[in-house]
Amino acid sequence: MSILKSSVPEPRTAKKAAKAALRLVDADETAPTTTAPLRIDAGIAAWVFDVAAITQPDEIVWCDGSTAEWDQLTKLMISQGTLIRLNPEWRPNSFLARSDPADVARVEDRTFICSAEEIDAGATNNWREPGSMKAELLPLFEGSMRGRTMYVVPFSMGPVGGALSQVGVQLTDSPYVVVSMALMTRIGTPVLNLITDDTEWVPALHSVGFPLIDDAGNRIDDVSWPHNPKKYIAHFPETREIWSFGSGYGGNALLGKKCFALRIASVMARDEGWMAEHMLLIKVTSPEQRVYHLAAAFPSACGKTNLAMLKPTIPGWKVETIGDDIAWMRPGPDGKLRAINPERGFFGVAPGTGIVTNQTAVDTMWGNTIFTNVALRDDGDVWWEGLTPNPPAHLLDWQGNDWTPDSKTPAAHPNARFTVTADQCPSIADEWDDPAGVVIDAIIFGGRRPSTVPLVAQAKSWSHGVFVGATMASETTAAATGAVGQLRHDPFAMLPFVGYNMADYFQHWLDMGETLGSDAPPIFQVNWFRKDENGKFMWPGFAENSRVVEWIIRRLEGEVAARQTPIGGLPLMHEFNIERLDVTEDDLQTLVGLDKQAWLAEADETEQYFGTLGDDRMPEALYAELTKLRAGLAKLPG
């Protein structure tokens, strides 16, 4: 038995499988019952039944994406202890899920790119040969859904039927994943109806790896958050498949997000001449009512949701939200770069998101929201660090234990998240779900850099901008398992998300610049996270980042000048708006300054890093940028 998409049975067999899907199976007691809709693509039906034969669920449910289905699944999970219904007076139709403490974030060390050749996964990815990865995983999937229901979730990344959109089908034994996918993507019958014989669709197989019947046939009690200590997030870029085993959390399990929309889509994008990026998208309207669209790549938990929902502190400026995590960008018929947000919702970091820092996000999650690993208030609402300035006197923490402000551990897990649809966001832009996307006027790169990198700089050219993206580094966060606060290279904020060789990905960015030519948007670099000698953030950040957005837009308009330096164009002090801001001229000087010694060290670091990416594929153009940087720095005094 094979469940390779590439070995979907001949049409005749597939049609038979489709027919089988249409009836409730009663002749064979061991076969699962099914709620198949009226029209299913034969290829999907065959794949579903192949997978079911291996994973052996009790039942197959074809998800239609209806409210009734949502209600049924949320009720089911309440009865199973997976969800707690929040007080509907405060948070209607909203739920709290508490994950297992061993399943709280993306597992980068268990994420695999299974290209046929190791070199195509490159130096930054864990590689496995596709056949041997499947051979290793098949025994784990065998019987992994015993005693459970297998849900069939057809989903669209991007508006259903949109020219830039893509479809997939996720099979999962987690109802939590189904309702999360329903918020994060467009799911259900309309998507299934799109898929015909010649539709490309991505099969995305997921199991939490916690069967309820053991090999001897004995029943096992379920737990509120089933998962498996063995975790695999496996991608097969050449055959466009995803196999995820053992985790129910976030990007490990909601396979439309990082697995499809970034890792698989980055490969599609390379092959087809577009870009799949870890970027927020915003629409900015200037006081003169001119409209611009910006795309910004920051690593995980580095402020994308925040900038996506920015409420400018400077008069006359307006920012509206288009996306907060992923952008798919492609040159349009007019030659300009256009972007869509392929997602339908936000899976946002809760801690640090609050009424002071991001009121818009707080307003977005008024209801119809799933919270994971936040704390529960005594009145049945939720709380987390930073939601309000003062913590409630008593809470149940993310693991369900009593918590008071004196407790030594945080009430919410640092990677606690809220899941909610984008259309509930008060700042959502009208064109956020336009299938044609929006024209991108500028691209921004940023990360958590306590030193060296200025508050804002404009790249000198597209290829210098690609160099800036390729040399990004950032302190690690709780979004992935492992140490937090360690500076690491995270090119284009895509280190964990590029589905192929990083050096080839750099080349693809350079190639896109060639394609776009004079229409290529200007590139900027930002850093909200510069620290002083006492470890304090030097820049107020959050809503005040609107001042940086203003400078960027004024650069696009040619309204402000830039001091040309080897690291790019820096703001002139008198042209950077710090009115009514608690930042001293001295601090601003540091924030928009250039420290020659620090940059010389950065250049050495860059050379070393490039060396780890494989000399034979690293683009010459990036080494040329490094040479230019060093030559420029050498000419500076000091």
Longest Cα separation, the chain: 85
3-state secondary structure of 555: helix
E strand map for 424-463: 438-439, 442-446, 456-458
User: Please, what is the minimum distance in Å from the beta carbon of residue 90 to ligand GTP?
Assistant: 22
Residues at the site binding ligand SPV, with contacts judged by CB under 6 A: 106, 250-251, 257-258, 300, 325, 347, 479
Q: Which of ligand GTP, Mn ion, ligand SPV, none does residue 22 bind (CB under 5 to 8 Å by kind)?
A: none
Among 111, 305, 369, 419, binds ligand GTP (CB under 6 A): 305
Rounded to 5 degrees, what are φ and ψ at 587? Answer: -60, -40
User: Please, what is the minimum distance in Å from the beta carbon of residue 570 to ligand SPV?
Assistant: 29
Give me the 156-195 binding string for ligand GTP, x by CB under 6 A, dash otherwise. ----------------------------------------
Please list the alpha-helical segments (H only) found in 185-244. 189-194
Rounded Cα distance between 363 and 426, Å, is 7
Nearer to ligand GTP, 40 or 280 (CB): 280
**In the numeric block, which tokens belong to residue 93?**
């139709």
Count of positions on this chain that bind ligand GTP (CB under 6 A): 23
Respond yes or no: is residue 302 known to be catalytic. yes
The piece of 174-182, 335-343, 538-546, 616-624 that touches ligand GTP (CB under 6 A) is 538-546
Nearer to ligand SPV, 106 or 555 (CB): 106
Position 298 contacts ligand GTP (CB under 6 A): yes
Residue 581 burial by CB count (10 A; 0-12/13-18/19+): exposed, middle or buried? middle
Dihedral sign computed on CA atoms, order 458, 462, 467, 470: positive
Q: Which of ligand GTP, ligand SPV, Mn ion, none does residue 306 bind (CB under 5 to 8 Å by kind)?
A: ligand GTP
Q: In this structure, how many other beta carbons lie within 10 angstroms of the beta carbon of residue 634? A: 11
User: Please, what is the minimum distance in Å from the beta carbon of residue 302 to ligand GTP?
Assistant: 5
Give me the 282-301 binding string for Mn ion, x by CB under 5 A, dash otherwise. ------------------x-
Position 108 contacts Mn ion (CB under 5 A): no
Nearer to ligand GTP, 162 or 256 (CB): 256
User: Please, what is the minimum distance in Å from the beta carbon of residue 255 to Mn ion?
Assistant: 14
Q: Which of ligand SPV, ligand GTP, Mn ion, none does residue 541 bind (CB under 5 to 8 Å by kind)?
A: ligand GTP
Helix axes 462-470, 620-635, angle to 10 degrees: 90
The piece of 84-92, 163-171, 175-183, 299-307 that touches ligand GTP (CB under 6 A) is 299-307
Identify residues 312-331 at the interface with ligand GTP (CB under 6 A): 324-325
Q: Which of Mn ion, ligand SPV, ligand GTP, none does residue 545 bind (CB under 5 to 8 Å by kind)?
A: ligand GTP
Q: b/e per residue, 446-457, with b = 16+ CB within 10 A?
A: bbbbbebbbbbb
Dihedral sign computed on CA atoms, order 92, 425, 178, 99: negative
Q: Which of ligand GTP, Mn ion, ligand SPV, none does residue 357 bind (CB under 5 to 8 Å by kind)?
A: ligand GTP
Contact in structure between 177 and 150 (CB atoms under 8 Å): no
Rounded Cα distance between 529 and 323, Å, is 22
Among 66, 88, 135, 537, binds ligand GTP (CB under 6 A): 537
- Spell out the residues 6+ positions from residue 436 whose beta carbon is closer than 8 angstroms to its own: 162, 163, 164, 332, 338
Identify residues 344-373 at the interface with ligand GTP (CB under 6 A): 348-349, 351-353, 357
- DSSP string covering 577-616, please? --TT-S--HHHHHHHT---HHHHHHHHHHHHHHHHHT-TT
Give me the 244-283 binding string for Mn ion, x by CB under 5 A, dash otherwise. ----------------------------------------
Rounded Cα distance between 162 and 153, Å, is 19
Report which DSSP code applies to 259: I
Position 525 contacts ligand GTP (CB under 6 A): no
User: Please, what is the minimum distance in Å from the beta carbon of residue 222 to ligand SPV?
Assistant: 24
Contact in structure between 242 and 4 (CB atoms under 8 Å): no
Please list the alpha-helical segments (H only) found in 87-236. 118-121, 130-141, 175-184, 189-194
**In the numeric block, which tokens belong to residue 401?**
């234990």
Among 54, 104, 302, 453, binds ligand GTP (CB under 6 A): 302
Catalytic residues: 302
**Binding residues for ligand GTP, per CB under 6 A?**
298, 300-306, 324-325, 348-349, 351-353, 357, 479, 528-529, 537, 541-542, 545
